[in-house]
Amino acid sequence: MKESSPIQASKAPAIARAAAVLRLLGRSDTPLGLGAIARDVALNPSTCLYVLRALAEEELVAFDAATKRYTLEAGVLTLARGWLRQSAFAELVPASLDRLAPRFGVTMLGVQIVGLDHIIVVAAAQGGQNFQLSAEVGSRFPALISATGRCIAAFGAHDPDEIATRFAALRWDDPPGFARWQAEVEQVRERGYAVDDGNYIAGVTVLAAPVWKGAGAMTQGPGHALVAIGIGSALRRSGLDALGEALLIEARGLTRQMGG
Amino acid sequence: MKESSPIQASKAPAIARAAAVLRLLGRSDTPLGLGAIARDVALNPSTCLYVLRALAEEELVAFDAATKRYTLEAGVLTLARGWLRQSAFAELVPASLDRLAPRFGVTMLGVQIVGLDHIIVVAAAQGGQNFQLSAEVGSRFPALISATGRCIAAFGAHDPDEIATRFAALRWDDPPGFARWQAEVEQVRERGYAVDDGNYIAGVTVLAAPVWKGAGAMTQGPGHALVAIGIGSALRRSGLDALGEALLIEARGLTRQMGG
DNA sequence: CTCTTTCATTCAATATACAGAATACCATTC
DNA sequence: GAATGGTATTCTGTATATTGAATGAAAGAG
């Protein structure tokens, strides 16, 4: 039997339900009622009510008794603080971002790589005052997209078939063919950093360099990456190579600081 | 490390267990094994294992297969981002903090009031270069402590008995007597902002001013507060009143912007 | 290398969380 | 004021999540 039975396979389904509810509330722009929530996460209203009450008890969701609507509660911030506290990367990366962003006038991101599924923005710094290509902390992106994706493909020890499958599911503004993409990935292995020149978002150029986590963990692939984002025309004018090399230096410094 | 609070009966106990595990992992400085986690949250190892697996499936917990240790995963950041997105206060307050912190050389906090239980730091700004500020976001404090506590007591429509009970449980460096504290709370009602002069932390003065949430929600008490923290001697020299009045003005501005 | 200890994981019986129907609660509308 | 529609909430039998013991897999000591 193939392993693909993701729903109901767990021995603690209430947790998956709770996570789905939290994510829905995080996505929603307005407070939601029980009915709307139950419908969206495909739960029985009664079950959903108990989930919401338990989450409210933990102060992860807020309940407005007057309108009977639910929202995320600030308790989720406390969890995030706990993660930030213990993540060496999150602690160290802002300094690197603050160095590079003003120097090259780019938006800098520090991202965490979560498997082959996706990456999560951990920290950000704005370079130019005019064009703010803001990606907020906590945002998720598909793992293989853009420059970071080429990094993951180049340095992660992943199954080629798996990569091909996931590549096919990506959405680009201007998709590169798989063959050309693979050639670029090969180039990343030599050069050390990756470039996405308008493929992901038209007119926008993205660079990424890998940061490894623990000592000698390089065989398992990078756990993080530094990302630079800027307007393509401006970046090409000021020289991509200089930015790429600066990314590499900072990324190597971070790897070293984290015990490499 | 101290034991977590006991898990209470609910119709979805797995959620309370999950929250306890997440909080424990957030508190811990090092990755933890199954045994340590199960012991701390008072769970059967087998049950705890299923909880951890479900949390890992949701990418709220990271599992290191080599060491069999668990950590918080970056997914908690995504939840926090959802909360920040939909909180008008979190969106607006940084501007206020950034205005006041350098002007008075104080550490500024924006806090969210969660019932009578506690407050959560939502945003922070440094005046001097003394401490790291970003680490503070997400911290929890008892609701009635320090200057914020006097605000909540003054403007929240809470049961006096409940307040007295909770007051008795607080820990101060230099506890004010209940009678004197109540007199100060009365003063807060007239002046509009609260002062804690070395009671909570010796040598440190804290000021707080309330921010109400929705329009006409003042009857239910403030949902947020602006907090200023500084060295007592320095603050008294530069004048507490000026800082207090500035806090009030910013707090009123925020209340207005949030639909007051 | 073998024994001992510690920890993670599976297994099978049973206490209980869950789904669905039934009820209570509002807020509108007639 | 009565009725209606759309909610949220309680109630109850049953499938299943939880438990504690048994098994497996490492790590450390002798």
A221-255 per-position pLDDT tens digit: 789 999 999 999 999 999 999 999 999 999 999 99
The C-alpha angle A105, A107, A108, rounded to 5 degrees, equals: 115
In B58-97, the residues whose Cβ lies within 8 Å of chain A are: 58-60, 71-87
List strands edge to edge, sheet with A204-211: A140-142, A118-125, A107-114, A224-231, A204-211, A194-197
Burial of A72 (0-12, 13-18, 19+ CB in 10 A): buried
Å separating the CA of residue B37 from the C1' of nucleotide D24: 21
CA A27 → CA A113, A207, B78, distances in Å? Answer: 21, 28, 10
Per-residue pLDDT of chain A (260 residues; tens, 9 = 90+): 333 333 346 889 999 999 999 999 999 999 999 999 999 999 999 999 999 999 999 999 999 999 999 999 999 999 999 999 999 999 999 999 999 999 999 999 999 999 888 999 999 998 876 555 566 899 999 999 999 999 999 999 899 999 999 999 999 999 999 999 999 999 999 999 999 999 999 999 999 999 997 654 445 678 999 999 999 999 999 999 999 999 999 999 999 998 76
Residue A118, domain member (yes or no) = yes
A199 and A110 housed in the same domain: yes
- pLDDT (0 to 100) of residue B135: 53
Question: Residues B87-122: pLDDT tens digits?
Answer: 999 999 999 999 999 999 999 999 999 988 899 999
Inspect the interface and report whether the beta carbons of B84 and A138 lie closer than 8 Å. Answer: yes
Chain B residue numbers with beta carbons less than 8 Å from the beta carbon of A41 are none
A100 and A120 housed in the same domain: yes
Inspect the interface and report whether the beta carbons of A12 and B18 lie closer than 8 Å. Answer: yes
Lowest mean pLDDT among A21-35, B7-21, B232-246: B7-21
Burial of B80 (0-12, 13-18, 19+ CB in 10 A): buried
**B50 Cβ contacts chain D strand, under 7 Å:** yes
Residue A70, token pair as written in the block: 């639910």
Whether residue B216 has pLDDT greater than 70 = no
CA B258, CA A117: separation in Å to the nearest integer? Answer: 38
A65 and A187 housed in the same domain: no
Whether residue B217 has pLDDT greater than 60 = no
- The CATH number that applies at residue A165 is 3.30.450.40
Burial of A104 (0-12, 13-18, 19+ CB in 10 A): buried
- pLDDT (0 to 100) of residue A213: 79
B196 and B247 housed in the same domain: yes
- pLDDT (0 to 100) of residue B6: 38
The long-range contacts involving B236-244, CB below 8 angstroms and separated by at least 24 positions, are: B236/B205, B238/B104, B238/B105, B240/B195, B240/B205, B240/B207, B242/B104, B243/B100, B243/B104, B243/B106, B243/B207, B244/B191, B244/B193, B244/B195, B244/B207, B244/B209
Q: Which of the listed residues A76, A104, A126 is the one where a domain comes to its end? A: A76
Inspect the interface and report whether the beta carbons of B85 and A16 lie closer than 8 Å. Answer: no
For residue A101, which amino acid is it? A
The answer to whether B157 touches B220, Cβ cutoff 8 Å, is yes
- pLDDT (0 to 100) of residue A221: 75
B195 and B235 housed in the same domain: yes
Number of domain units in chain B = 2
- pLDDT (0 to 100) of residue B117: 86
**A13 Cβ contacts chain C strand, under 7 Å:** yes
B250 and B166 housed in the same domain: yes
Residue A2, domain member (yes or no) = no
Strand partners, A229: A107, A206
CA A30, CA A35: separation in Å to the nearest integer? Answer: 14
- pLDDT (0 to 100) of residue B4: 37
What is the share, in percent, of chain B residues with pLDDT greater than 70?
91
CA B205, CA B178: separation in Å to the nearest integer? Answer: 19
CA B71, CA B56: separation in Å to the nearest integer? Answer: 9
Q: Is B14 on the interface with A (CB under 8 A)?
A: yes
Its domain, for residue A47, covers 13-76
A148 and A239 housed in the same domain: yes
A156 and A43 housed in the same domain: no
Question: Residues B132-179: pLDDT tens digits?
Answer: 445 589 999 999 999 999 999 999 888 999 999 999 999 999 999 999
Burial of A24 (0-12, 13-18, 19+ CB in 10 A): middle
- The CATH number that applies at residue B25 is 1.10.10.10
- pLDDT (0 to 100) of residue A116: 87
Residue A82, domain member (yes or no) = no
